Structure 1
Amino acid sequence: MKKWGVLILSLVLLFSLAVTGCAKNDAGAGGIVKVGTDAAYPPFEKQGGDGKLTGFDIELMNAIAKAGGFEVDIQHAGWDPMLDAVKNGKLDAGISAISITDDRKKVYDFSDPYFDAKQLILVPANSSVKSLKDLKGKRIGVQTGTTGEIVVQKTFGKTYQGIKGYDDTPAAIDDLANGRVDAVVADNGVVLEYLKKLPAGKFKKVEDPSFEPEQYGIIVKKGNKELLKKINNGLKKIREDGTYKKIYEKYFGPMQ
């Protein structure tokens, strides 16, 4: 009887540890939520030489988690790997200035919108370009898989030879600065950030009224309603208590 008692007790302990381990790894059951990002999109996210992630999205996600009562581990994954990892469940969520689109909503569940955005055109200061259509026949840099690429393709077609795709927007802007492309189309927050860093008076932004307004959202794997609820609750709380406003104004100045 003693041997059987020890065996039963051992099995109970092993079962308890297994359940506890599963709970810790389950983002919907109080575990650490693994969040992916593409840390090459300042001021939303960037990675320092020490590997530390900073930026608007990073601070926002941490604030959402704190207000929502869960922990996050934010990891730099890269744009396409991040999207694939959330889709396949290897990451629980993704935040990286991700525009909410109908096509993406077929693949992911989105949080409530957290940022209003639009596309801008970045060109040399002496450029005569006044709209996207003026870029016909010119070399246009875009980050592959982004809404910047989509709006250029809608205007000139997917087979337009002038589109040059990049893994990240900074690489496209570097090529613009070095004369390898004639313009870059990207989100307004990123373009405005780079205008501060580029040589004064050498480049300018162009606003095209045909560009439709966009909104950013946090993505989770399709069907993960429990995590989505936590994220939305946290976002709502930081909007109400002023935390969102404080983070926003740190990066973008007074809210309109």
Structure 2
Amino acid sequence: MKRRHILAATALAILGTFASHAQADALADIQARKKVLIALDLGSPPFGMIDANMQPYGSDVEVAKLLAEQLGQPLDVVQVTSPNRIPYLQTGKADMVIASLSVTDERKRVIDYSKPYGVIQSVIAAPAGQSVKTIADLKGKRIGTTRGSVNDKEVTKVNDGAEIVRYDDDATLVTALVSGQVDVMATSPQIMKAANERNPASKFEVKMVLKVFPYAIGIRKGEAALKQRLDKFVDENLANGKLNEIYKKYNGVDLPADIATLN
């Protein structure tokens, strides 16, 4: 009988441990810690970059700063790359990810999202003089992309005879493009713009759009209170124009009018 009670107590303790994890409240943790840990990719212009004074800037950086201000907590930047954004989130190194994190069905299986606060296109871009009208035109070419990004996944799905060269972050991809290491890129218009700014002679232009993705703030599964707070942040700052102001500053265009309906 005594052994049975011990086993029962052990089982309850284990269940209690699982329950405590299941009931984890990241928003309460942020408030108790008195700072918010936000994962940002600082090698992904124009979303995240580092200036001459080694300070982070970019559209996602400004969104993160605005969010921290409205949460009433100091911002602690957790620097990530495209491949490790979600692992850093899942292992608790960050409370959330604000790093041009596109909303995809695959990611929805492992994380939750806030409402979208921006959009990004996955495109094939090449120098103006290259004739690229279909995927078949890419056969035999070297396509540069950022490892683990939606651009990587989209071009891999349709690839037919091209060599895909993967780089660990967007900044390295841009360097490869302007130095002529690859012929074409599977990326976003924003990264293409950064490449052209680095080397105007490149004259990269969008040849075809693979897909249009909304992007949102990524959080761990089951964080209902945090999701509700982030959705409120997005709603309020779309309504007052602050998110559009940030987006237009770095992308040169307004957010789409229907962004609130995207998911």
Name the TM tier (shorter chain): 0.7 to 0.9
* Distance apart, 1:148 and its partner CA: 1.0
* Distance apart, 1:28 and its partner CA: 5.6
- AA paired with 2:177? L
Question: Could you tell me which residue of structure 1 aligns to residue 95 of structure 2?
Answer: 92
Equivalent residues in 2 for 1:61-100, closer than 5 Å: 61-100=64-103
Q: Is the 8 A contact 1:137 1:162 kept in 2?
A: yes
Question: Could you tell me which residue of structure 2 aligns to residue 133 of structure 1?
Answer: 136
* Distance apart, 1:62 and its partner CA: 1.6
2:127 equivalent to 1:144: no
Equivalent residues in 2 for 1:147-226, closer than 5 Å: 147-156=150-159, 162-200=163-201, 202-209=202-209, 211-226=210-225
2:50 equivalent to 1:55: no
- AA paired with 1:119? S
Q: Is the 8 A contact 1:114 1:217 kept in 2?
A: yes
Question: Could you tell me which residue of structure 2 aligns to residue 42 of structure 1?
Answer: 45
* Distance apart, 1:81 and its partner CA: 3.1
- AA paired with 1:153? T
Q: Take 2:173 and 2:85, find their aligned partners in 1: how far apart are those partners?
A: 20
* Distance apart, 1:142 and its partner CA: 0.8
Q: Take 1:25 and 1:242, find their aligned partners in 2: how far apart are those partners?
A: 28
Give TM-score, length-normalised by structure 1: 0.81
The equivalent position to 1:110 in structure 2, one of 113, 134, 146, is 113
- Compared with structure 1, are the counterparts of its residues 24 and 63 closer, same or farther at alpha carbon in structure 2 (3 Å cutoff)? closer
* Distance apart, 1:135 and its partner CA: 0.7
The percentage of counterpart residues that share the same residue type is 29
Deviations 1:114-137 (CA, angstroms, capped at 9, x unpaired): 112211222223212223331112
Q: Is the 8 A contact 2:174 2:194 kept in 1?
A: no
- Compared with structure 1, are the counterparts of its residues 24 and 132 closer, same or farther at alpha carbon in structure 2 (3 Å cutoff)? closer
- AA paired with 2:224? K
Q: Take 2:181 and 2:63, find their aligned partners in 1: how far apart are those partners?
A: 35
Question: Could you tell me which residue of structure 1 aligns to residue 239 of structure 2?
Answer: 240
- AA paired with 1:240? A
Structure 1 stretch displaced more, 121-130 or 144-153: 121-130
- Compared with structure 1, are the counterparts of its residues 246 and 156 closer, same or farther at alpha carbon in structure 2 (3 Å cutoff)? closer
- Number of equivalenced pairs: 231
Q: Take 2:230 and 2:33, find their aligned partners in 1: how far apart are those partners?
A: 13
* Distance apart, 1:43 and its partner CA: 0.8
Higher-Rg structure is 1
Deviations 1:13-42 (CA, angstroms, capped at 9, x unpaired): xxxxxxxxxx99812657322011111111
Q: Take 1:144 and 1:69, find their aligned partners in 2: how far apart are those partners?
A: 35
1:117 partner SS: strand
Structure 1, unpaired ranges of 5+: 1-22
- Compared with structure 1, are the counterparts of its residues 70 and 231 closer, same or farther at alpha carbon in structure 2 (3 Å cutoff)? farther
Question: Could you tell me which residue of structure 2 aligns to residue 18 of structure 1?
Answer: none
What is the RMSD computed on CA atoms of the aligned residues?
2.5
Q: Take 2:96 and 2:43, find their aligned partners in 1: how far apart are those partners?
A: 18
Q: Is the 8 A contact 1:68 1:231 kept in 2?
A: no
Q: Take 2:126 and 2:147, find their aligned partners in 1: how far apart are those partners?
A: 19
1:79 partner SS: coil
Deviations 1:60-91 (CA, angstroms, capped at 9, x unpaired): 12213333444432222223333211011221
- Compared with structure 1, are the counterparts of its residues 148 and 119 closer, same or farther at alpha carbon in structure 2 (3 Å cutoff)? same
